[in-house]
Structure formats: C-alpha cells, structure tokens
Structure 1
Amino acid sequence: MKKTPLNTAGQLLHCCHSIAGLTLGQLAAQLKVDVPANLKRDKGWVGQLLELALGAEAGSQAIPDFPALGIELKTLPIDQQGKPLESTYVCVAPLTGVTSQSWQQSWICQKLQHVLWVPILAERQIPLAERVIGTGFLWQPSVAEQQALQQDWEELMELITLGGIDQIRGAHGKVLQLRPKAADSKALTAAVGANGEPIQTLPRGFYLKASFTAAILSRQFNLAEQSLKY
C-alpha cells in the first residue's frame, strides 16, 4: 500500500482521523500486516503499524517520523477513563560527551517540538487485535512544559556528567525520567563512573511520566482531570 507523501500537518491529521475508531486488527488487515499474539517480543509493533498507516518515513533514522513536517509520532496507551497506562519512551539518552550540550541542541528537545499523539485504548485485558485507535491530535509544548522538561533534562544530564548515573531512579524528575532501555542485561554502553572513570552500564532512555501525558490529554479532550502544576 503506497502512501502519497504528506505535505501539510493538516493532511497528516486528516489521515490520522480517518483511522480513528478502527481496532488494531482492522487496521492491520487493511495493511496486510500480521498481528502478533502479544507485545512481549514485539514491543514496537503498535507504533510501527501506525507509522505504516500514516506514511511515516524516518524508520530508525535520527530524524522526526515525518521529516518534511518536523512532526514526531507517539502512540499513547490509555484506559477507559482516558488515563495513560504507562510512561512514554522518547529517545535514547546520551551518557558520554554531553558536557557542553544545551537543552535546545538535545535530540529529545527536537523530538518533542511537534508531536502527533495517537491514543490507543489498550487495557491489558483487551486482546491486542481488539484495541481501539483513538482520535489523534497535534501538540507543541507550552512555555511551562518546555521549562519543566528542560529543568528535568538539565538535572539528569548533570548527574550523568558527574558520574551519578547509578544514583538516578525513576522518581527523579517532575515530568521526565531516565530508565534502563535495553533488550537484555548484556547490552552495555559506555558511561562515566562516580570517580570520573570510564564504566560500562545499561543504556538509558528518556521517558515522559504518565502524569505529564495525562495533563496533555486532559487539556486536549477536556477530561475531568486536574492539570499538572509545574
């Protein structure tokens, strides 16, 4: 199924709205894609299905999913009340050579400048093929959201630079967290140790906390949920 390149954000949103209400199984059937039994071995399958449906072009390249539009695609599993079920992975965190990097230069900042959020009704008891695609929407961070993200990023990067990588826990940060991101415990990468020495550790990824994405959803859909205070 050959997709015509999208030239505007409006076209992308229209395409996204055209699949809202479909189950993942229905969309997969349209695209002639097999549905896995579960996501244990196919964690990225839902995102890949949506990328295929919407014509995302980035693949695994370090560019936005829709390069011509500068828009990143993020699926967001939610429950019946519209609350996110988990934190949202954004990108791999650099663990070396980041001393002089600023927030504005960072890959995570660039990825979050313009996001197409696609909620998926994905409570665990719902079989994968029966999970429902919600109404996608475009989001750009407000000044307060940018400030909150930047503050967390700067604090986390300072800990990484000063050799505190092993002190960082998921509770660090108000809106952004750093967590291990690896297929298994043997996938190690270079980092800085407590005394400035080179060490090997698990790769880390940046994740948006569920409370942050819940506030985004609340504003978009006027849900009965208080906005997050930054």
Structure 2
Amino acid sequence: MNKPLPPKSIVELMQRVECIAGLTLGELAQRYQFKSPEHLLREKGWPGQLLEYVLGASAGSKPVPDFEHLGVELKSLPIDYNGKPLETTYVSIVPLTNLTGAKWEDSTVKKKLNHVLWLPVLAERDIQPVDRTIGSGFLWQPTQTQEALLKRDWEEQIELIALGRVNEISGHLGQVMQIRPKAANSKVTTDAIGPNGKLIKTLPRGFYLKTSFTQSILMQEFSA
C-alpha cells in the first residue's frame, strides 16, 4: 500500500482517525505493511511513527505541527485499563540559548499545543506493543485557563534558563508542564547559558506535559 497522502481537511483527518479506532497497532502495521519491532525498548517511538505514517502527518522533525497545513499536532497517549495516562507527553525541545526577548506567543510549545489530535492507545505494560489497541481520537484546543497554566510554566522555566540556572530545573517544577533531559545517553550534550552568562555544556532538555494535565484533558473529553 502506498504511503498515505496528507489529509486535505480536518474532516478527512478525523475520518481516518475513526477508521483506525479499535484496531491494534499490529493490525494497523500489517494493513499498511509498516515494519513492526520485536521489542519497543529500542523502538520506543514506533507507535507514534506508525500513527503519523497512517494518518499522513507531514512535518517530520520540523518545529511545526505534524499536520502542518491544518495546524494540527498529533499526540498518541498511552493509557492504562482505567483510562489514565501512563507517561508524560513530550511536546518539544527546550531552547537553551538565545533567549533574549523570548515570548510564549512565539514558542514552539504554543504552536504545537494550539490544536492537538489526541489518540489514546491502551498500552498497559502487560500488553505486547503489537497488541495495543487504538482508542477514539479527538481534537482539543486549550481553554483560556489551560493556556494560562501552560504559559506560566513555560515562562517560569525559560526565565531560569535565561538566568543561567538550567541545572536547577527538575521535573518537580511546573504545574502542568515540566522540563526534563531528553537524550539517548549522557554523552549527548548541547550549549546552554551558564551561571555567569558564559556557555556551558549540558544535556538537551524537552518540555513534557504532566500526566495530571493529560488526564484532565481526557476527562474533559470523555465525561462530557
């Protein structure tokens, strides 16, 4: 089967989403002849790559929403049997230099979270990756309250980085969004602003949505 083209509209995107609800990742991979890994330890990003491929996401690793021309970001959300998120949700890389005049309104985080297609996947630890079931995807845009929380977490943590205090940031900060190291191993380093304004080497960081926040988004959608 040929690689699916990007959907031309949000309606077409949501039709694709409805077509895959209830399938397992293995069934979906088979249908599209998409290679399945034996173990997800080395292939942690496989479910997301498969879903991006099938739904026709086009952005790749660019700092723009996955469905660039629709302005929609795709986020698969692993959940347990009770419908609770199993892990935090990666949003984007954290800028660690050139932060003078950085504004929430221009941030990659805001661009990515402006309009999200959430795709819950039943991914309890005892279910093999290929047997994990895709749930009902839905579109979400942050409410004013949610955006205010995201903005505050972004601004507080970006300010610490701009002040050269990147090493004081831990996953405990942020009410709805945290910053954590994002690297395959500790040998991968990048430049950051140091305590005296000089550049230091540190681990790359990523913005992650906390599970309590994604849980509230699920409840907002499915208890309505």
- For the criterion TM > 0.5, the same-fold answer is yes
Deviation for aligned residue 1:4: 4.0
Deviation for aligned residue 1:121: 0.2
For 1:28 and 1:6, how far apart are their aligned partners in 2? 19
Q: CA RMSD in A?
A: 1.1
Q: Which residue of 2 is the match for residue 110 of structure 1?
A: 111
Show structure 1 runs of 4+ deviating over 3 A: none
Map Cα deviations across residues 144-175 of structure 1 (whole Å, 9 max, x no partner). Answer: 00000000000000000011111111010000
**Match of 1:84, as an amino acid?**
P
For 1:221 and 1:212, how far apart are their aligned partners in 2? 14
For 2:68 and 2:156, how far apart are their aligned partners in 1? 29
Length-normalised TM-score, structure 2: 0.97
Q: Which residue of 2 is the match for residue 90 of structure 1?
A: 91
**Match of 1:75, as an amino acid?**
S
SS of residue in 1 equivalent to 2:60: coil
CA contact (8 A) 2:120 2:134 kept: yes
- Matched positions, count: 223
Alignment of 1:135 onto 2:141: no
SS of residue in 1 equivalent to 2:105: coil
Matches within 5 A, 1:96-175: 96-175=97-176
For 1:202 and 1:127, how far apart are their aligned partners in 2? 31
For 2:66 and 2:72, how far apart are their aligned partners in 1? 6
For 1:88 and 1:62, how far apart are their aligned partners in 2? 16
CA contact (8 A) 2:6 2:67 kept: no
SS of residue in 1 equivalent to 2:104: coil
Map Cα deviations across residues 99-137 of structure 1 (whole Å, 9 max, x no partner). Answer: 201101001110100000000000111011100001000
For 1:118 and 1:79, how far apart are their aligned partners in 2? 13
Matches within 5 A, 1:1-230: 1-222=2-223
SS of residue in 1 equivalent to 2:151: helix
**Match of 1:177, as an amino acid?**
Q
Deviation for aligned residue 1:5: 3.5
Map Cα deviations across residues 68-111 of structure 1 (whole Å, 9 max, x no partner). Answer: 10100000000011100010000100000012011010011101
**Match of 1:135, as an amino acid?**
S
For 2:133 and 2:49, how far apart are their aligned partners in 1? 16
SS of residue in 1 equivalent to 2:74: strand
* Structure 2 portions without partners, runs of 5+: none
For 2:115 and 2:58, how far apart are their aligned partners in 1? 16
Length-normalised TM-score, structure 1: 0.94
For 1:165 and 1:2, how far apart are their aligned partners in 2? 41
What is the identity percentage for the equivalent residue pairs of Structure 1 and Structure 2?
53
Deviation for aligned residue 1:2: 3.6
**Match of 1:164, as an amino acid?**
R
* Structure 1 portions without partners, runs of 5+: 224-230
Greater Cα shift, 101-110 or 5-14: 5-14
